[in-house]
Chains A and B, each alone.
Chain A
């Protein structure tokens, strides 16, 4: 440190602890007062330095003795907590350092790794998850299984009013009544779903390795056990597709599909391929069913014509009083409605006293004519 006789800047004074002490608490252990008076030039610097210190005061911290004690006690508690945590760590390290533990750990790690590898690379590749496995693993009771062994599509109506058009050589398992907060059905083969809207009770279709989640919409799923791909094709609304829980890994994210988008799941590699324009995809194009192509937007159309469209779409037969409904024309939009909903709307539009019954593929309309 400089000799104070060489101080030429106020910084010199400000930085001198004994000077600060003299200024702030009048404690003059080094004879500052005398030294200042010796020389008028010094006195001027000292005066300015004094003003700096007076203007640069910092209020005393207002921590009371009580607060201080409490803070110290709290700190000791923190210390105790940290030390306990460290002891645990030390114990773990000691355990790790014992030879037998390392051996056991190594064996376990190798074991788990091989199990994992086996599962991922062999098991998954050879044993696709399929309908039989999924359904046999379910503990859900009261599942109804509908198998379509005919050569025509079959229409199913579920307890929530949703309709499923099940294609030949396909089967669907579904509960008689949907309980709980989810609607779960299990598909093998191909089907077109029209789901009744219920945001509180999402609808899940489990088909081979994928799970499709919807709230209310229409879409087709093609998931034959003996085919290499699983396809989801969306017609209306929004659909979310995910890998089934058993084979899901963290990198796979839920895929959202919008109308006229589709998704192909390659079962061997377990990869998703999103198709944003289904009209450009040959395989999907060739498998489009009539129900997906027909328009259900009717504008002043004879009821008989509307029934014909429905017969075509759902492969059903509709019996209706032709005479009574001869002159009935309707303007209505039935897209995105399950079959029962479509029929209900039509009946309501014809007149209050109209109704329908449905028995398998046979639908009967009861009506005395339109309003």
Chain B
């Protein structure tokens, strides 16, 4: 297979098709799936722990299990959600086993430590830049679980059901987590912005 064809192959096959081929024992499909998600999963894993080598091990073990137990995999999975969820579960398990791994000890308390950043390249005017910076600050002081819910929902585009499954809560709780984060922030943000405007007008 030449390179062009392979690239085409990559682009065309969506997750579900790849999944089916992995289940059928296609090593190439496995490699494609691996390369498609490895980076995301490492990033997600690193958000729980500063021990990046252990996270690499975790992610690779998730893929190892997928291949070794491919015959018993379910047909109908949302691949991305399945992978994120598997990585998270593995990290929680590892952490339970190995207390050095993280300082927290409770099962639910693998803390999502990732900070959201500002996409500067897409911002041209200063007023927007100021608003976005404020919003970003408010987002980053949210509780870890709310941040993680937002990350899964709006960065990875998972639906509320999938977010709930990964966070090991019911649909309603996941919905609340997401909604509360937005409502609270909007409230603070509006106040902030109002002050900002007052400040600006006075200054000018």
Complex: chain A residue closest to B47, CB-CB: A58
**Residue contact B60 to A54, C-beta cutoff 8 Å:** no
**Which of the candidate stretches A10-18, A94-102, A225-233 sits at the interface with the other chain?**
A10-18
Whether, in the assembled complex, A72 has its beta carbon less than 8 Å from a beta carbon of chain B, the answer is yes
Closest Cβ of chain B to A68, distance in Å, is 6
Judge if A53 is at the interface, Cβ distance under 8 Å: yes
For window 61-97 of A, CB contacts with B under 8 Å fall at 61, 63, 68, 71-72, 74-75, 78-79, 82-83, 86
Shortest beta-carbon distance from A172 to chain B in Å: 51
Instruction: Classify chain A: how many residues form its interface, as a range.
Output: 20 to 34
* Nearest A residue (CB) for B135: A55
Contact B154 A15, beta carbon cutoff 8 Å: yes
Q: A57 on the interface (CB 8 Å rule)?
A: yes
Per a CB cutoff under 8 Å, which of A20, A58, A82 touches B117? A58
Quick one: which of B26-42 are within 8 Å of A by CB?
31, 34-35, 38-40, 42
A298-B136 Cα distance, complex, nearest whole Å: 84
* Contact status A63-B39, CB under 8 Å: yes
A55 touches B154 (CB 8 A): no
User: Are the C-beta atoms of A20 and B154 separated by less than 8 Å?
Assistant: yes
Residue of A nearest to B41 (CB): A61
Beyond contacts A56-B136, A71-B59: 15 other A-B pairs, Cβ-Cβ < 8 A, are A11-B178, A14-B153, A15-B153, A15-B159, A53-B119, A54-B123, A55-B135, A68-B38, A71-B60, A72-B31, A72-B34, A72-B35, A72-B38, A75-B67, A79-B68
Q: Is the CB of A24 within 8 A of B61?
A: no
Q: Enumerate chain A residues within 8 angstroms of B136, measured Cβ to Cβ.
A: 55-56
In the assembled complex, 25 residue pairs joining A and B whose CB atoms fall closer than 8 Å, in A order, are: A10-B182, A14-B154, A15-B154, A15-B157, A24-B122, A51-B131, A51-B132, A53-B119, A55-B132, A55-B133, A56-B136, A56-B139, A56-B154, A58-B117, A58-B155, A61-B39, A61-B40, A63-B38, A63-B39, A68-B35, A71-B38, A72-B38, A75-B60, A79-B67, A82-B64
Instruction: Kindly list chain A residues whose C-beta atoms are within 8 Å of the C-beta of B59.
Output: 71
In the bound assembly, the distance between CA atoms of A79 and B56 in angstroms comes to 15
User: Min CB distance, B146 to chain A, in Å?
Assistant: 12
Is A116 interfacial (CB-CB < 8 Å)?
no
| B residues in contact with A82, CB < 8 Å | 64, 68
CA distance A68 to B139 in the complex (A): 31
For window 21-63 of chain A, which residues contact chain B by CB distance below 8 Å? 23-24, 51-61, 63
Which residue from chain B places its CB closest to the CB of A70 in the assembled complex? B56
- Contact in complex: B60, A74 (CB < 8 Å): yes
A78-B61 in contact given A15-B153, A52-B135, A59-B117 (Cβ < 8 Å) = yes
B19 at the A interface (CB under 8 A): no
- Max count, chain A CB within 10 A of own CB: residue among B118, B119, B131, B159: B119
User: Does chain A have a CB within 8 A of B171?
Assistant: no
Given A75-B64, A78-B64, A79-B64, also A57-B179 (CB < 8 A): no
Residues of A within 8 A of B (CB): 10-11, 14-15, 17, 20, 23-24, 51-61, 63, 68, 71-72, 74-75, 78-79, 82-83, 86
Complex-state Cα separation, A75 to B43, whole angstroms: 18
From known contacts A79-B67, A82-B64, infer whether A53 and B154 are also in contact, taking CB-CB under 8 Å: yes
- Cβ-closest chain B residue relative to A17: B157
Most buried by B among A17, A59, A79: A79
6 closest residue pairs by CB, A with B: A61-B39, A55-B136, A55-B135, A61-B43, A57-B119, A63-B39
Q: Does B114 contact A (CB under 8 A)?
A: yes
Instruction: Scan residues 56-86 of chain B and give those whose CB is less than 8 A from a CB of chain A.
Output: 56, 59-61, 63-64, 67-68
Contact: A58 with B64, CB < 8 Å?
no
B55: min CB distance to chain A, Å: 11
On chain A, the residues within 8 Å of B118 by CB distance are 54-55, 57
Residue of B nearest to A9 (CB): B182
Please give, as numbers and ranges, the residues of chain B lying within 8 Å of A23 by CB-CB distance: 122
CB neighbours of A60 from chain B (8 A): 39
User: B150 an interface residue at 8 Å Cβ cutoff?
Assistant: yes
Contacts A24-B119, A54-B118, A59-B117 given; does A68 touch B154 at CB 8 Å:
no
On chain A, the residues within 8 Å of B179 by CB distance are 11
- Whether A71 touches B114, Cβ cut-off 8 Å, given contacts A20-B157, A82-B68, is no
B51 at the interface (CB under 8 A from A): no
**Interface: B2 (CB within 8 A):** no
Within 15-33 of B, Cβ neighbours of A (below 8 Å) are at 31
Which of A58, A63, A72, A86 has most B Cβ within 10 Å? Answer: A58
